[in-house]
Structure 1
Amino acid sequence: MKKRQTSKIVASVFLLVMAVVWIVPLLYGIFTSFKSQSELLREGARLLPIDWVLANYQELLMDNTSTPLVRWFFNSLFIATMNTLLVLFVVSLSAFAYSRLQFKGRDKIFTFLLATMMFPGVVNLIPLYKIVDMLGWVNTPWAMIVPGAAGAMNIFLVKQFMDNIPKDYDEAAQIDGASELIIFRKIILPLIKPILTVITLFTFTGSWNDFLWPSIIFNDIEKMPITSGLQLLQGMYQSKPTLLMAGALIAIIPTFIIYLFAQKYFLESMSLSGGVKG
């Protein structure tokens, strides 16, 4: 009993230290965005601002030429939303096929699909760019929306979740004359909402935070997502960290909001066993 309490104390202390390590830099960045440049230079590492100002946000949001932050924000919002919807459509249907349908070579194809997860994504950059260039998608949102729609990990997670749903539901529906598509839409889809919420969270945040691929694809300032825009912002305002902090804070707002509303389903679905069991 005493050993167990000691383990709990050690674990709590460790988690507290990790939380401080993560939260303090975030708070410092947030408070810095509300400081003037002169105060930052004068006060140095002081956490809270002496005078709270909105000048950094006003300067960024009013500049529509060299750093169109608002345009970048909505570009990222469009790309991340469309990519998420496409992923949900493709992944849910693919997982349904691997989990419920019987066809020749199904298990071998699924095994090959999982084997592709062993290769790092950076290996695909050159061939992916060639394909995107051939389709005429360079410098367009489609270069970020379409590639990766059928991610192997997402298909695996949804399939594992579906496998926990008894096939008795499918058989009962088939007796009533339901087609496979109706079974998917009326029975399976409502039951896999928790894992689809997790996929939505992962996909949206991954698409929103993607940095390397949009930096390769986009060269038009007006079409850039906010991650590429922040890189440009850093080059222009390297001597003004207060502006950079304000831009970074604006960039994290959507991912923070989506996680805030989806965390319940995220925690429930980590065991991949939230489906209906017999």
Structure 2
Amino acid sequence: MKNTVAKIAFNIILILFALVTVIPFVWMFISSFATNGDIVSISDNLFPKPSTLDNYRNIQTTFNFMRFFSNSLFISVVKTGIVLYTSAVGGYIFSKLRYRGRKFLFGMILSTMMIPWAVTIIPQYEMMVNFGLLDSYWALILPGLVNGFGVFMLKQSMDDIPDEIIEAAKVDGAGDFRIFHQIVLPLSRNALSAIGIFVFLWNWEDYLWPFLMINTQEKQVLAVGLKLFNGQYGTDYGGLFAATTVAIVPVLVVYIFFQKRFIEGLAAGSGK
């Protein structure tokens, strides 16, 4: 009886937290169909009354929304793909290969996770300027080619792959390149999905680094472009909410598509 009551109370608490999290997004979505006057008006209603589709029609005319959207999508997809591959290679090297100094090098990789990203902004900025990469997509891609968290997660996942499978493949004449691509990578798809979602979200929502690196408006990403709705004398809240609603769509698609493997990958990593 006590366990049942505890479960019910726990579920109620989770539902309340879920409502607190979801209600702002619901309010933003409904407000994206309302006029600015209805959004900022003081009334007894919590949600403004949806009355127009102009906010969605005008986001392309207000600023080059599709250009910013495609820039963000390109950068996020490219960086996610690169990070997944480099993390998988690093995980395989630290999990299945035996060599002197392996534990020390892995410790160095883990130590990078303890350094706040803000500390590295100035050195990375100076490096990009010295390399002549300022105002280019390379400045957004190169600093994130390797991710310590990704290497850690993939290493933990690959530790669960029996060494007997690797040895059997070597007996059959397979080299490390073939073993990695045809055996280890398919068996690590859950961890790859989990890391892929994290990396995609980090890059899709990144604001500060693109703001520092990109000066040309046509090359800018969506997170920075949304600030164009903030005018000198006011803010187009309806357009901002409409653009933000559309910007959330790729995040939802990625999470829904990889949801099952994302949960399995996190569970496997937490078990380690």
SS of the residue 1:150 aligns to = coil
Instruction: Give the match for residue 87 of structure 1.
Output: 83
Letter in 2 for 1:143: A
Q: Is the 8 A contact 1:198 1:265 kept in 2?
A: yes
**TM-score scaled by structure 1?**
0.91
Quote the residue 2:212 is aligned against.
216
Report the Cα offset of residue 187 of structure 1. Answer: 0.9
Deviations 1:112-151 (A, max 9, x none): 1111211111100000111111222211122222212211
Q: 2:95 aligns with which of 79, 95, 99?
A: 99
Contact 1:164–1:273 (8 Å) recurs in 2 = no
Q: Is this contact kept in 1: 2:31–2:50, CA < 8 A?
A: no
1:228 equivalent in alignment to 2:224: yes
Displacement, 1:236? Answer: 5.8
What is aligned with 1:6?
5
Residue type at the aligned position of 2:209: W
Distance 1:238 1:97 in 2: 54
Correspondence for 1:20? 19
Matched, 1:119 2:115: yes
Q: Does 1:261 align with 2:257?
A: yes
1:144 equivalent in structure 2: 140
CA distance in 2, matches of 1:249, 1:196: 27
1:203 partnered with 2:199: yes
Q: 1:133 — aligned with what?
A: 129
Q: Tell me if structure 1 keeps the 8 A contact 2:83–2:145.
A: yes
What SS class does the counterpart of residue 3 from structure 2 fall into? Answer: helix
Structure 1, 206-215 or 153-162: larger mean CA deviation: 206-215
Moved more, 3-12 or 170-179: 3-12
Residues 47-62 of structure 1 aligned to structure 2 (within 5 Å): 47=46, 50-62=49-61
Contact 1:170 1:183 in 2 (8 A): yes
Unpaired runs of at least 5, structure 1: none
Q: Distance in 2 between matches of 1:134 and 1:125?
A: 14
Q: How does 1:27-38 map to 2 (within 5 A)?
A: 27-38=26-37
Give CA-to-partner distance per residue, 1:224-249, whole Å, 9 cap, x none. Answer: 10001112323468432111111211
Task: Name the stretch that deviates more: 237-246 or 17-26.
Answer: 237-246
Would you say how many aligned residue pairs link Structure 1 and Structure 2?
A: 271
Deviation at 1:152, TM superposition (A): 0.8
The gaps in structure 2 that reach 5 residues or longer are: none
Matches within 5 A, 1:167-182: 167-182=163-178
1:59 aligned partner, one-letter code:
N
- Contact 1:29 1:245 (8 Å CA) reproduced: yes
CA distance in 1, matches of 2:184, 2:49: 56
Aligned counterpart, 2:158: 162
Deviates more, 1:214-223 or 1:116-125: 214-223
Tell me, in whole angstroms, the C-alpha distance in 2 between the residues paired with 1:237 and 1:265.
Answer: 47
Q: Indicate if the aligned counterparts of 2:229 and 2:235 stay in contact, CA closer than 8 A.
A: no
Question: Are residue 109 (structure 1) and residue 105 (structure 2) matched?
Answer: yes
| Structure 1 residue 108: Cα displacement | 0.5
- SS of the equivalent of 2:143 reads coil
- SS of the residue aligned with 1:146? helix
CA contact (8 A) 2:229 2:236 kept: no
Aligned residues: percent identity? Answer: 34
Q: Pick closer, same or farther for the CA change 1:33–1:236 going to 2, 3 Å.
A: farther
**TM value normalised by structure 2:** 0.93
2:177 and 2:112 mapped to 1: Cα distance? 28
CA distance 1:9–1:60, change in 2 (3 Å): same
CA contact (8 A) 2:84 2:195 kept: yes
Q: Is 2:193 aligned against 1:194?
A: no
